[in-house]
Structure 1
Amino acid sequence: MAKQARGIQTRRQILEAAGSVFDECGYEPATIAEILSRAGVTRGALYFHFASKEDLARGVLAEAVTAEGVLPQETKLQEWVDVGMVLAHRLPKEPLLSASIRLSSDRKARALFGTSWADWSEFLSAQLTEAKDRGELLPHVDPDRIARLFVGAWTGVEITSTALRETGELEAEIAALYDCFLPSIAVPGVLRTLDTSPDRGARMWQAHRAQGDQPETDDSGPLPARA
């Protein structure tokens, strides 16, 4: 068991290091040597877990689709909101998450290993489908279509915010994005109950960490992307 735990920890170290390098450099300029240096592991350890730089990129993308920090709510639509708000809170602090957007946005790179967008669209569509089954969405809403549109819009807002170097503004911008989307998909009774405050993600993440009795880390290092 101890050996297995060490293996899991080593894999995590490698992924976080790779995420940091991909986030800063992009896919093509990133080197295995730099990833090894940041991870503090041997070349043999890295290749035990990942066969290539391409395999590392796929590992980073796989870690991106997570609902960690989203707690059960009275409505499924609020949980759908919380996914995007918690991600907006976490992403600037966690290179492993922000790297997934950089990799997905790189046309040459995504030709090699795809993107995280399809998984995100599928995940959010499933949430919206459940919300519709519960009567929380307007009858005309197509969960698949809304999920794809929202993933594109969320990604665009993040890229624009980063390009303009509007530090600390991502949560406010994503909150505004929900405020644009929700009136066109939510039934009025549910719409009135939804919390899209810019600090929603921070509050949910803090509650999640407290629930697990895990203190919030500072901004100097990444937090785990999965429980």
Structure 2
Amino acid sequence: MRRQQERAVKMRASIVRAAAEEFDQHGYAATSTANIVRRAGCTMGALYFHFPAKEHLARAVMAEQAADLPAVPGPVGLQRLINLTLVLARELQGNVTFRAGVQLSVEQSAFGLQDDAPYLLWIERFEDELIAAQALGQLRDGVVPARFARTLVGAFSGVQLLSRISAQHQDLEERIVDLWSCLLPAVAAPDFDLSPPLDEGDA
């Protein structure tokens, strides 16, 4: 029984990975379950055992997009928030499950979904760092962590979408640096000491 459960867990993970790769390459509408089965090396029966329909696969990829993201370096507060956005930029370049999950969050109306949970996840994560930054005196007076977190997630989402369309995310880190160059003067306390951007080995 235990081995059967382990095999089932591995098969589910393999199917989700294959689905993420197909969704990332072709988008939701053009992805077929036949291609997912072929890529996963399983049977159609195995796929439908775990996922009754393609939209269930899409929801699984969306839900698991942040499952294996790396730790973010830097001290808590504004520096870690900046580093987090740069880590996410790198993950969008190389992490297919994360990239597909983000893309499906944009495409979700194609499979009858209107779910802001993937965005709320990052709003809460960003807000946590902003609350820490506020406690450390790193924010300007009047900056409201919850409001800026929502604004930042919206801005990041737009920047990454434009970068995907125009450059397949290859210029995303540069675009995020540009985003912060515009936003940071408006939110950071005058004496906030920003460290250099992440080195290649930091993420």
TM-score by length of 1: 0.77
Post-superposition CA distance 1:20-79 (Å, at most 9, x none): 111222222222111111111223332333332222111111122368323453232222
Q: Evaluate the alpha carbon distance shift between residue 67 and residue 93 of structure 1 in structure 2; reply closer, same or farther with a 3 A threshold.
A: closer
Unpaired runs of 5+ residues, structure 2, are none
Counterpart of 1:68 in structure 2 is 69
Shift of 1:85: 0.5
Asked whether the 8 Å contact 2:76–2:129 carries over to 1, the reply is no
Indicate which of 146, 156, 159 corresponds to 1:157: 159
Shift of 1:93: 1.8
Q: Evaluate the alpha carbon distance shift between residue 159 and residue 174 of structure 1 in structure 2; reply closer, same or farther with a 3 A threshold.
A: same
Percent identical pairs in the alignment equals: 34
State the one-letter code of the partner of 1:149: T
Asked whether the 8 Å contact 1:80–1:124 carries over to 2, the reply is yes
Pair 1:174-2:183 in alignment: no
More displaced 10-residue stretch of structure 1: 2-11 or 145-154 = 2-11
Between Structure 1 and Structure 2, how many residues are aligned? 201
Shift of 1:119: 2.0
Q: Evaluate the alpha carbon distance shift between residue 72 and residue 94 of structure 1 in structure 2; reply closer, same or farther with a 3 A threshold.
A: closer
Asked whether the 8 Å contact 2:156–2:176 carries over to 1, the reply is yes
Unpaired runs of 5+ residues, structure 1, are 206-227
TM-score by length of 2: 0.85
More displaced 10-residue stretch of structure 1: 145-154 or 118-127 = 118-127
Q: Superposition RMSD on alpha carbons, in Å?
A: 2.4
Counterpart of 1:57 in structure 2 is 58
Shift of 1:155: 1.6
Post-superposition CA distance 1:63-121 (Å, at most 9, x none): 22368323453232222112211111121222212212322222623642525222221
More displaced 10-residue stretch of structure 1: 37-46 or 147-156 = 37-46
Asked whether the 8 Å contact 2:74–2:83 carries over to 1, the reply is no
Pair 1:112-2:110 in alignment: no
Shift of 1:18: 1.0
Counterpart of 1:138 in structure 2 is 140
Asked whether the 8 Å contact 2:79–2:195 carries over to 1, the reply is yes
More displaced 10-residue stretch of structure 1: 16-25 or 121-130 = 121-130
Asked whether the 8 Å contact 2:92–2:98 carries over to 1, the reply is yes
